[in-house]
A and B are shown apart, each in its own frame.
Chain A
């Protein structure tokens, strides 16, 4: 079906109207979004093939809007974080979005690969190692972009057996660091306690995804089993592989290691983690510092609450003073 899509490319600029062929067939994209294939007319014979996500229709459309906003925010943040070194292969790539109308959408480049739910049990030896590095690299990128995925599971992490690459998909439940945690529905096997509806608390941070990530590592290592007891990590050699750090992931989020910790201090590898800008925190700190100078002038006797910086410094410290930088592998 011929159509004209009005959207803004993710790297900025104005809205563009581009002719496209749109597939009538829709398929689910997460819980509250639907997807369909579109071919943008870019001069090539078949066009540029993309996936368009849109909110579902009906009673839950309102929630669908929020989910789509999450995808767009994550996609834009990742682009900002990756602007120096190219977009990471380990996370799906937002191509463009239309975020203002009654029928908003996000355009993603094609996801290659199959959900780990289907193929995880076949990742052995080198493939398992590639999976480990790919997953943790993807999570480092997310941390660098200041985003928590909040729905890591065998259904949202894909494996491309042709290239041996992990790809983290479905950012519809993601949230920026520092925002209040909202409850995540779903199987308790993949939702950490701090995000479950009845025990949800605190602020989103860089270790929010680690709980599910550790379980995913076990899931693949055990060829498709859910982790029932962290003691099982030792049985499969994961405890030793990560130098005892993996067990710490099952504590409260404040005490968990980050993805970078797992690579550096767990796997103890010379890592090739992507270079990230990490200027979000810097801007936040600079801005707050400027405000505090004004405050000191207006209210010279007002003390600074001792926990004022906790929501920034904690996250920053955990990522290292310069953010995830350098290279690992």
Chain B
């Protein structure tokens, strides 16, 4: 058996679309060859010529070189695949190989491939180009995303050759940093990029993306420093990283801490000053005040108290400190002489305190520092009776949020601590532990459950914030949850068991719609009515049909059909009161969803889901909501909800 095997596939147009056929392989075991084809097929369909892909599956890896095309889908006519152990077939080495048909060390020479670690023929060219000015911006963006911990990075990719050089530089620098986590990439991607079985980071370059989602400024500064040193002198970069102990850092956080101790690149002689930090003990004002040249950000409304925050960038930074009493926010004092990189370190994961908190009558409340940096955040709330499954729907939605990439959206968490806390408290117990989650307590104050920065292809990034409120609170007419006054979208959540209950008119819905109809906001909220826990009715029509409809597409007709069928289901069950949001809100859709896929065992709150948890159709209401609130745009998205 070859240590590195070679497989050739061809794309052929069939009656039912493109068919991918294996034409040659060095793998003699048919089952193994078939397994590779099954594994690679979605990636083959995602790639284009000219371009390549490297997929690190953990133990094994594959490198795909897409060859000539005549313009037919899927963008290539044949591919050559190298497959082997990922330790042997590394991403950089695969890129360095001569292309099929080129003279020299290439695909036809398996013997040389098996010799392992010798640099490939193209290494010199790749290094030169990776260090060039052309590659600089893309390399910095990629490195910044990597440092920030992104798992999926979509980059603009008009030039596959440059993309290969950037990718080569990216991996090379990561390895210098001691970051050995897997890196997979597609240098020319189209259509849906699979997001399934590759661990680590997946970087894809797309011609239809004009600019990459910008990472945090602090990470950009760190990345720019690294890319600059790499362009100047790769050997010098490796040396200083070794000197400062980067390869020995225990994790990504440790690496970033160590990077912040590097001396500035412009200071001659600093390379040998091991351990010297430039952070001083003098303190200065917050970032916004120092960077006075920065334009003032637009007014943002606080979702907790509805107060206007006029100049977001001027707010002081705070951090959560678990060691203070039972945990409290403490102000971050930022030294005035910090360089941008050091400032980024200080403000990473920071919060701002709403200015209304200085009023003695208002309880202090905090928001992630990035909350107001992307224009008006989109606020989404969950509305429904107690035990209608709002918390479970929210948890399963967030558990599957990466599935939004299938709709062309790039999603990153707004605040890592908040996201991590929700994952640990709700998502993991539900999805991995099959545990029934406790409902939101009636007396709980409205808090930001989680928030994300969402960007559609080359569009603007928007903050999408999710709020969960107790059902009991919403059912009380005297309780007017503040966020309802400014919510952009509301999920009206229905338990099928409540449909047949004697009191079909849900006070929760009525109360919420009453608020929504009286608020001064220019546009009323969008609504997604969700027939939740639909597994309870999974043998009924049209529930059976829609629960089995998979993730679907952005086709507005599909949303309209589902809306019509769920509306008809409610009508058939004489539950027209529950359809009121459709008539009251400017845009609305109806859905079936099952956050767990099956019922819990017994009625005790500490019980489990004995069949395991398999969320079904939970992302569809969110996709519809993102379309109806303008996060997702385009001709198709604009038609959703009308």
In contact, B568 and A288 (Cβ under 8 angstroms): yes
Q: Residues 235-278 of chain A: 1 if any B CB is under 8 Å from the residue's CB, otherwise 0?
A: 00000000000000001100000000000000000000000000
Which residue of A99, A179, A194, A298 is within 8 Å of B583 (Cβ)? A298
B546 / chain A contacts, CB cutoff of 8 Å: 179
Instruction: Give the CA-CA distance A58 to B412 in the complex, in Å.
Output: 35
Q: Select one of A251, A280, A291, A294 contacting B541, CB under 8 A.
A: A280
- Residues from chain B with a CB closer than 8 A to the CB of A252 are 15-16
- Residues of chain A within 8 A (CB-CB) of B614 are 62
Against B, the Cβ 8 Å flags (1 = close, 0 = not) of A162-194 are 000000000000011111101000000000011
Segment touching B, from A31-39, A68-76, A132-140, A320-328: A68-76
- Interfacial chain B residues near A2, Cβ < 8 Å: none
A-binding segment of B67-75, B200-208, B253-261, B550-558: B550-558
A287 close to chain B: CB less than 8 A = yes
CB of A229 within 8 A of chain B? no
Whether A125 is near chain B, meaning CB under 8 Å from some CB there, is: no
Whole-angstrom distance between the alpha carbons of A199 and B614 in the complex? 24
- Chain B nearest Cβ from A205, distance in angstroms: 12
CB neighbours of B579 from chain A (8 A): 294
Task: Write out the residue numbers on chain B whose beta carbons fall within 8 Å of the beta carbon of A302.
Answer: 642
Asked if B545 is at the interface (CB within 8 A of a chain A CB), the reply is yes
A102 and B642 form a contact (CB under 8 A) = no
**With A102-B610, A201-B16: A72-B539 Cβ-Cβ less than 8 Å:** yes
**CB atoms of B15 and A251 under 8 A apart:** yes
Given contacts A179-B549, A201-B16, A305-B557, contact A73 B544 (CB under 8 A): yes
B17, CB-defined interface residue at 8 Å: yes
Q: Are B582 and A294 in contact (CB under 8 A)?
A: yes
Closest residue on chain A to residue B588 by CB atoms: A298
Residues of A within 8 A of B41 (CB): 198
Partner of B16, one of A197, A199, A294, A307: A199
Give Cα A280 to B598, complex, Å. Answer: 25
Q: Are B16 and A308 in contact (CB under 8 A)?
A: no
Which among A72, A99, A198, A291 has the highest number of chain B CB atoms within 10 Å? A291
**Distance in angstroms between the alpha carbons of A100 and B538 in the assembled complex:** 11
Closest to A203 in B: B549
Q: Which of A101, A182, A280 contacts B550 (CB 8 A)?
A: A182
- Docked-complex contact B567 and A294, CB < 8 angstroms: yes
Which residues of B are found within 8 Å of A291, using beta-carbon distances?
Answer: 563-564, 567-568, 571
Contacts of B549 in A (CB 8 A): 179-180
B567 touches A287 (CB 8 A): yes
Render A100-121 as a binary contact track against B, CB cut-off 8 A, 1 for contact: 1110000000000000000000
Smallest Cβ distance from B44 to chain A, in angstroms?
10
Question: Which B residues are CB-close (under 8 A) to A283?
Answer: 541, 568, 572
Question: Are A290 and B567 in touch, CB under 8 angstroms?
Answer: yes
A291 to chain B, nearest CB (A): 4
Residue interface bits B15-57, CB-to-A below 8 A is 1, else 0: 1110110000000000000000010010000000000000000
Partner of A287, one of B552, B571, B642: B571
Question: CA separation between A111 and B564, bound complex, in Å?
Answer: 40
User: Is the pair B16, A180 in contact by a Cβ cutoff of 8 Å?
Assistant: no
Considering the complex, give the chain B residue whose CB is closest to the CB of A180.
B550
Q: Find the residue from B20, B549, B567, B611 having the highest chain A CB count within 10 A.
A: B611
How many Å from the CB of B591 to the closest CB on chain A?
A: 14
B610 touches A299 (CB 8 A): no
Assembly CA distance A307 to B560 (angstroms): 11
CB of A16 within 8 Å of the partner chain: no
Which of A62, A193, A287, A292 is B569 in contact with, Cβ under 8 Å? A287
Chain B 313-349 interface mask (CB, 8 Å, partner A; 1/0): 0000000000000000000000000000000000000
A311 lies within 8 A of B38 (CB): no
Q: Does B175 contact A (CB under 8 A)?
A: no
Contact of B544 among A179, A199, A251, A290 (CB under 8 A): A179
Q: Cβ of B20: which chain A residues have Cβ within 8 Å of it?
A: 198
Cβ-based interface call for A65 (8 A): yes
Is there contact, CB below 8 Å, between A308 and B567? no
Q: How many residues of A contact B (CB 8 A)?
A: 45
- The docked-state distance in angstroms from the alpha carbon of A73 to that of B538 is 8
Q: In the complex, A177→B544 CA distance in Å? A: 10
Distance A100 CA – B536 CA, assembled complex (angstroms): 8
- Chain B residues numbered 578-609 whose CB sits less than 8 Å from any CB in chain A: 579, 582-583, 598-599, 601
Instruction: Report chain A residues within 8 Å CB of B601.
Output: 101-102
With A99-B539, A291-B568: A308-B610 Cβ-Cβ less than 8 Å: no
Q: Which residues of B contact A299 (CB under 8 A)?
A: 642
CA distance A73 to B547 in the complex (A): 13
**B582 A65 Cβ-Cβ under 8 A:** no
Q: Which residue of A lies closest to B19 (CB)?
A: A199
A286 touches B15 (CB 8 A): no
Query: Does residue B612 face the partner (Cβ distance < 8 Å to A)?
Result: yes
- What is the CA–CA distance of A298 and B541 in the complex, to the nearest angstrom? 26
Digit string of B262-296 for contact with A (CB within 8 Å is 1, else 0)? 00000000000000000000000000000000000
Contact partner of B565 (CB less than 8 A), chosen from A73, A182, A193, A288, is: A288
Residues of B within 8 A of A292 (CB): 564
Q: B549: nearest residue on chain A (CB-CB)?
A: A180
In the complex, A295→B253 CA distance in Å?
52
Asked if B548 is an interface residue, CB under 8 A from chain A, the answer is: yes
Pair A65/B561 contact, Cβ less than 8 Å = no
Chain B residues, Cβ within 8 Å of A175 = 548
Find the B residue at minimum CB distance from A280: B541
Say yes or no: A194-B16 contact (C-beta < 8 A), given A176-B548, A180-B550: yes
Q: Are A284 and B542 in contact (CB under 8 A)?
A: yes
A290, B576: Cα distance in complex, Å: 12
**A99 vs B642: C-alpha distance in the bound complex, in angstroms?**
37
Chain A nearest CB, measured from B545 CB (Å): 4
- From residue B308, how far is it (CB to closest CB) to chain A in Å? 32
Contacts of B16 in A (CB 8 A): 193-194, 199, 201, 252
Q: Known: A65-B611, A180-B549, A251-B15. Is A294-B568 also a contact (CB below 8 A)?
A: no
A62 partner, pick from B541, B582, B612, beta carbons under 8 A: B612
Max count, chain A CB within 10 A of own CB: residue among B17, B539, B599:
B539
Contact at B557–A65, with CB atoms within 8 Å?
A: no
Chain B residues within an 8 Å CB radius of A198: 19-20, 38, 41
Provided the pairs A284-B541, A287-B571, A302-B642 are in contact, do residues A102 and B611 lie with their beta carbons within 8 angstroms?
Answer: yes
Residues B560 and A76 in contact, CB atoms below 8 Å apart: no
Q: What is the distance, in angstroms, from B133's C-beta to the closest C-beta of chain A? A: 43
Structural contact, A287 and B565, CB atoms closer than 8 A:
yes
Closest CB in chain A relative to B368 CB, distance in Å: 36
A213 CA to B642 CA in the complex, in Å?
42
Q: Which residues of B contact A (CB under 8 A)?
A: 14-17, 19-20, 38, 41, 538-539, 541-542, 544-546, 548-550, 552, 556-557, 560-561, 563-565, 567-569, 571-572, 579, 582-583, 598-599, 601, 610-612, 614, 639, 642
Q: Which 10 residue pairs spanning A and B have beta carbons closest together?
A: A287-B568, A102-B610, A179-B548, A291-B564, A291-B567, A180-B550, A288-B564, A305-B557, A302-B642, A178-B545
List 20 A-B residue pairs with CB atoms under 8 Å apart, sorted by A's residue number. Answer: A65-B598, A69-B538, A99-B539, A100-B599, A102-B610, A176-B541, A177-B545, A178-B542, A182-B550, A199-B17, A283-B568, A284-B541, A288-B565, A290-B567, A290-B568, A290-B571, A291-B567, A305-B556, A308-B557, A311-B561
